[in-house]
Amino acid sequence: MDGPVNMRVSTASSAAAHTADCAIFAFSEGELRVLLVRRSVEPFAGSWLLPGGAMSQEDTLEETARRVLLELVGVQDISLTQVGTFSDPGRHPVRRVVTTCYYALVRPENHTPTPRGHLSDAAWYRLDDVPPLGFDHDELLRAAHHQLIQHLRERPMVFDLLPERFTLTEAQQLYEGILRERLDRRNFRRKMLSYDFLIETDEKRAGVQGGPLLYRIDSAALRRAEKR
């Protein structure tokens, strides 16, 4: 009978490379989009992927995610949320690679991706137009999108995408565009008005029938709400 498996980490332990992959979502022209990059080297040369790369000995996982976004596509200064870790032994054809996926939701006009290194292209894709992705990045994207939707239902996280002054209708349209479903107007307004970071202004939207009230965000109160 085989003896117990040695669970201690030692020099004889199985080694695996660790990477960070990032699903960077953006909302533009009424639709949710994701940043994809095109790989120019094997394996999966010519395939579209989520931007990502290997962790160095000096980096934490989040530092790796931020470094590869900056070095590969020039994207920086974004808030990253961890999705999960993916460790299927066959997920990389060259060697054992474990990856941790992150997601972010940004304004695309603030982040113009520029492909560098082993990438030949970078572009914002509508979710409905995403081609088959290399490695297991289809699975990573599905997991990241699912978590984005779950978090959007649970916490305030899209207000940075709205103009400085906005109507509740504009906020609802943003939520509906990301969730891809219609929301009950009365319930949505009740939820929005319960937030202490939502400040009613004395202004109204010019040129719109009825002149709906404009709201603004108390940034400090919003940051506190995001941490709850």
Which 3 state secondary structure label does DSSP give 5? coil
* β pairing state of 97-106 and 17-28: parallel
Q: Is the dihedral of CA 2, 96, 78, 148 positive or negative?
A: negative
Note the pLDDT of residue 9: 44
| CA atoms of 86 and 75, how far apart (whole Å) | 23
Question: DSSP character for 133?
Answer: B
* Cβ atoms of residues 40 and 119 within 8 Å: yes
Average pLDDT on 10-37 reads 84
| CA atoms of 59 and 49, how far apart (whole Å) | 22
Whole-structure pTM value: 0.86
* Dihedral pair phi/psi, residue 54, rounded to 5°: -80, 145
pLDDT for 75-106, tens place per residue? 988 889 999 999 999 898 888 899 999 999 99
Domain definitions of the chain by residue range: 17-153, 159-226
Confidence of residue 60 (pLDDT cuts 50, 70, 90): very high
Burial class (CB in 10 A: 0-12, 13-18, 19+), 133: middle
Q: 17-153: which CATH architecture?
A: Alpha-Beta Complex (3.90)
User: Containing H/E element for 73?
Assistant: helix 61-73
Question: DSSP character for 149?
Answer: H
Confidence of residue 29 (pLDDT cuts 50, 70, 90): confident
Which 3 state secondary structure label does DSSP give 40? coil
pLDDT > 60? residue 5? no
Note the pLDDT of residue 13: 44
Class of domain 159-226: mainly alpha
* Cβ atoms of residues 124 and 50 within 8 Å: no
The encoded tokens of residue 116 equal: 């560098």
The rounded percent of the chain whose pLDDT value lies above 70 is 91
Taking all residues of the chain, what is their mean pLDDT, rounded to a whole number? Answer: 88
12-16, 28-32, 65-69, 201-205, range with greatest mean pLDDT: 65-69
Long-range contacts of 63-69, Cβ-Cβ distance < 8 Å, separation of 24 or more: 64/18, 64/19, 64/20, 65/20, 65/21, 65/22, 65/100, 65/102, 68/20, 68/22, 69/22, 69/24
pLDDT for 162-216, tens place per residue? 889 999 999 999 999 899 899 999 999 999 999 999 999 988 877 666 668 999 9
The rounded percent of the chain whose pLDDT value lies above 90 is 62
Note the pLDDT of residue 203: 87
* Cβ atoms of residues 104 and 80 within 8 Å: yes
pLDDT > 60? residue 158? yes
Q: Other C-beta atoms within 10 Å of 178: how many?
A: 20
Which 3 state secondary structure label does DSSP give 32? strand
